Structure 1
Amino acid sequence: MAAEESWDVIIVGAGNAALCAALSAAEQGVKVLVLEKATLEDRGGNSTFTAGGFRFCHDGVEDLRTDILDDMTPGEYDSIGNLPSLSEDEFMATLMKVTDHQADEDLGRILIGESRETMRWMRKHKIRFIPMFGRQSFKIEGKHHFYGGVNIEAVGGGWGLVDMLVQACDRMGVTIKYETGLRELIQDQKGRVTGVRAFGPDGYEDFYAKATVLACGGFESSPEMRVRYLGAGWESCRVRGTQHNTGDGIQAAMRIGARPHGGWSSCHAVQWDISAPPYGDRVILDNFQKHSYIIGIVVNMEGKRFIDEGADYRNHTYAKYGKEVMKQPGRAAVQIFDAKTHDNVRDEYRIREVTKATADTIEELAEKLDIDVEGLKAEIAAYNAACPEGAFGTTYNPSILDGVGTKGLTVPKSNWALPIDTGPFHGYVVTCGITFTFGGLKINTDAQVLDLTEKPIPGLYAAGELVGGIFYENYPGGTGLLNGSVFGRLAGKNAGLLAKAA
């Protein structure tokens, strides 16, 4: 075992939540160590594999130009037709709606109430942001119309976000130790967490600190834990992000009596290209996702629709529809678009590494993709007949909930119901990609980890995906990174203050 090392604050993990915690702790003038299980090249956890999008409260594009988008070019600004504001009440209503009113309201109020100030804080640390032109807008009469509440991303996406946060940590004097994974938490006789035991290139090492922050992700990369908590068959899903999120922080904390909390049987899971590798690809990143289903239809390999593609904005449904694909034969589905809408699919449909087919007829498309031909013909005929005739005229605007839905179908399409009747037809084959799990540790409003009696475990804080209680069953797009930043900042600050006072 290597010689013991002592620090003021230890942060476990090196994704968005962890790096925000490290920055916030360093602002208190204390000595901060970040322990990252991955190599330098594989750093960043799940954050690297995201689009870098943030949902937060603001008063529209004019408001954002003053601080968050202060380096946006005049051309970018002029290209925006509508970028809706987001109030705290709207944000809270969305969070409660998509989680079936199960989200912890106290944590939700912190998440939402601190959202704008946290974005300002990140910008002060030189994190740059830009509107999500390619993924969260539709062009109408030459202007970008944004929708769904998550319209701002870090420059360079998730990879850019992590890189900018690491640079900020370097400027603040934070030390990052790579290839060093948490194995257990160290406590004194009174139960106070005094450090961590980790395994690195030189074997086991003990690192001591006055406060520790766990921010090393959920358990989505552990097939055993997925099956245990999500159910049979979940060992076979693809993982969108890092292979390193195997529940280490959750399990280490539970071994010392931390309280499990939240939606342990649910997760963030999306429609993901069926040819994607088992774990995230650091070149393709999140471009294997396929999220333009709202302007098309989704069928299984029998040709049957099974979700309401127009139930709500993509940002309110995409994180739960991957689970629905998991239930289909072969854990596969096909998204189908015709010539009327295909030009409006998101950027990720245009990558070279995509599983697709194009055909002049529905029959030919079905044959190319091994979909039941007669089943698909019958399904599309029934869907087309259920679409309101001439409902759109010349205006088709997926940036608003238009209420134009099908009539008489068992599985409706509640908005944007446009017939699939104009060739060429395009089909994209998808499976389920899991992003992160919703079950985790219980924390209080100071980001302290609670024990089984609901008392804080002294010296232990948590932030990010390993915190339970905020998301259940579903998730509003762009809230994951915000969650990591808000609670990472809070946990790091309180850990730093504790260490400073010790």
Structure 2
Amino acid sequence: MSFDAEYDVVVVGGGNAGFTAATTAAQQGANRVLLVEKAPEDDAGGNTYYTAASFRSCFDGLRDLLPFLYQSDGTKGLPHDLIEKIEMAPYTKADFHEDINRVTKGRADPELANVLVDNSREGIQWLFDNGARFNLAFNRQAFHVDGKFKFWGGMVMNMIGGGKELYRWHTEIARKNGVTVYYSCPGIELITCPSRGDVLGLKVLKDGEYKRIRALGGVVLASGGFQASPALRTQYLGPGWDLAHVRGCGYNTGDGHKMGQQVGARLSGNYSGCHSVAWDANSPKEVGNRVLTNQYTKSGYPLGLMLNTAGRRFVDEGFDLRNFTYAIFGKEILKQPQGIAFQVWDADQAKWLRTEEYADDVTDNIRADTLEELAEILSAKGLQNKAQFLATIDEYNKAVAAFQAENPSRKFDPAVRDGMSTQSSKMMIMPAKTNWATPLKKGPFQAVEVTAGVTFTFGGLGVDSKTGNVLSENTRKPIKGLYCTGELLGGLFWDNYPGGSGLTMGTVMGRIAGKHAAKRAQSSESIRAQL
């Protein structure tokens, strides 16, 4: 069987997971590592480029992280007076497991969950050790309450510079370790041994010509989900999903799923599920914006209300911390008439909104001195029933007042599940708001229009959790020479996921797949040397 080129390891996809696999393979002794990326260089980075670069991992409290932290200006370490103002609980393995089990309703593959949790700190350490610079996510994961920065939700760090910097760092560390990168070079199909079915290499389209590339250790598929394909979204997620906006990469159209199926890979996980957020309705529809990237997310809903065009609420905005609800509320918005909704706050609630998502140069803020005026303005944006809109808010305010009358000691605290509710012995509304329920009465009032932004899909390829080897549908055994990592991995996330765990899993499984592919390449070289 003839090939146009030969490498020890070939990786398909240039996001966090793919670059992690490629660099790890090189660091583990693979001398020739190739990463092929479908996008041109000026549009590359996968979904990684569009993230806030937040990573969820276990840690033993603030002191455990201090040696690795930087200030936002790049200065190493944190000032002592700032450290004294930080409240941050440890995030244990038990905490991480509890969050996974809760948000996936116990459906997460236990072996994959163990791999993620047990290796999360080691994965972050690898980033630290290779020069990645992190700071505390004051702007995303902490509220300034009573003179303290109170961190919440278990995810406390992000890379300085966000996804753009994470992608730049990956390309730099890969280059330093000798990884070759081909841009504008999609993987077309896997090349297998006719008699055994082992994966021998990859057919690519490079410079307008098909090339056959030998991969001695194997091919690592890290090409993401199918969220950028309206047809596949509709096929797997259901009717209406072709109308969702693509939150990030426009090149993730299911290539890895197709290549895996061609060689009999097992499809695994929640194919009808995806990560979808409340997303700016005025954002681009088919691909994310490379300037604003993650800023189109609209995650301030726990502080206020979300109402549909009929003027009714449709979710409990406060049933959990934002980290554990933002990936499912896009789906709920898409179910509403016209697939849109309005997030609404009063003046006191709006003070807590993050400027990176809600500044006037980022989104179209709609403001009015009274709720009646706000309803009138929103009617031009699609609100169909102004009277119901006002009635819904009035009912909500009465329910809040009834709860507060019965529970005068309860205090609003955005950094914890504060129990500030709409449900009391005197009055209950449906849906309830079970935390952070404060009255919506003080003008000026503010609203934004949101839709569903789909980030990545949950269905993917089944793998051996210890090696990253893709499993065969027929035998349920590993397909030799084929590995998988990143958002193409199936079986871990179901319906929902704990925020920040996607990047962590891409790092963890990328390192595992890269290591085992490199080891297999070395074995192949050794065998060939003896022939």
Relative distance call for 1:283 and 1:422 in structure 2 (3 A) is same
1:438 aligns with 2:458: yes
Which residue does 1:380 correspond to in 2? 393
1:312 maps to a residue whose letter is D
Q: How does 1:329-408 map to 2 (within 5 A)?
A: 329-346=337-354, 347-350=356-359, 352-370=361-379, 371=383, 372-387=385-400, 388-389=403-404, 391=407, 395-407=411-423, 408=428
1:112 aligns with 2:117: yes
> Does the 8 Å CA contact 1:72/1:130 hold for their aligned counterparts?
no
> Does the 8 Å CA contact 2:21/2:513 hold for their aligned counterparts?
yes
Q: Give the RMSD, CA atoms, in angstroms.
A: 1.6
Deviation track 1:278-317 (CA, whole Å, cap 9, x = no partner) reads: 1100001010000011010100011100000010000011
Which residue does 1:310 correspond to in 2? 318
> Does the 8 Å CA contact 1:137/1:145 hold for their aligned counterparts?
yes
Per the normalisation by structure 2, the TM-score is 0.92
How far apart, in 2, do the equivalents of 1:60 and 1:94 lie?
18
Match of 2:503 among 481, 486, 489: 481
Which residue does 1:194 correspond to in 2? 200
Which residue does 1:493 correspond to in 2? 515
Which residue does 1:57 correspond to in 2? 58
> Does the 8 Å CA contact 2:486/2:506 hold for their aligned counterparts?
yes
Per the normalisation by structure 1, the TM-score is 0.97
Match of 1:298 among 306, 316, 341: 306
> Does the 8 Å CA contact 1:68/1:119 hold for their aligned counterparts?
no
Relative distance call for 1:472 and 1:413 in structure 2 (3 A) is same
> Does the 8 Å CA contact 2:69/2:136 hold for their aligned counterparts?
no
How far apart, in 2, do the equivalents of 1:179 and 1:285 lie?
21
1:242 aligns with 2:249: yes
> Does the 8 Å CA contact 1:215/1:463 hold for their aligned counterparts?
yes
Which residue does 1:212 correspond to in 2? 219
2:201 maps to a residue whose letter is G
Aligned residue for 2:328, secondary structure, equals: helix
Deviation track 1:431-455 (CA, whole Å, cap 9, x = no partner) reads: 0000000000000121100001211
Deviates more, 1:365-374 or 1:152-161: 365-374
Q: How does 1:144-293 map to 2 (within 5 A)?
A: 144-189=149-194, 190-210=196-216, 211-278=218-285, 279-293=287-301
Q: CA deviation at 1:78?
A: 3.1
Which residue does 1:449 correspond to in 2? 470
Deviation track 1:215-270 (CA, whole Å, cap 9, x = no partner) reads: 11000001111000000111111000011000101110111100000000000000
Which residue does 1:327 correspond to in 2? 335
Match of 1:83 among 68, 88, 91: 88
Deviation track 1:24-71 (CA, whole Å, cap 9, x = no partner) reads: 100122110000001111111001000000110001111101345592
Deviates more, 1:229-238 or 1:350-359: 350-359
How far apart, in 2, do the equivalents of 1:67 and 1:501 lie?
36
Question: Structure 2, unaligned stretches of length 5 or more?
Answer: 525-531
> Does the 8 Å CA contact 1:28/1:500 hold for their aligned counterparts?
no
1:468 maps to a residue whose letter is G
Relative distance call for 1:311 and 1:474 in structure 2 (3 A) is same
Relative distance call for 1:193 and 1:68 in structure 2 (3 A) is farther
Relative distance call for 1:295 and 1:123 in structure 2 (3 A) is same
How far apart, in 1, do the equivalents of 2:366 and 2:81 lie?
34
2:204 maps to a residue whose letter is A
> Does the 8 Å CA contact 2:273/2:494 hold for their aligned counterparts?
yes
How far apart, in 2, do the equivalents of 1:329 and 1:280 lie?
24
2:256 maps to a residue whose letter is G
How far apart, in 2, do the equivalents of 1:203 and 1:83 lie?
54
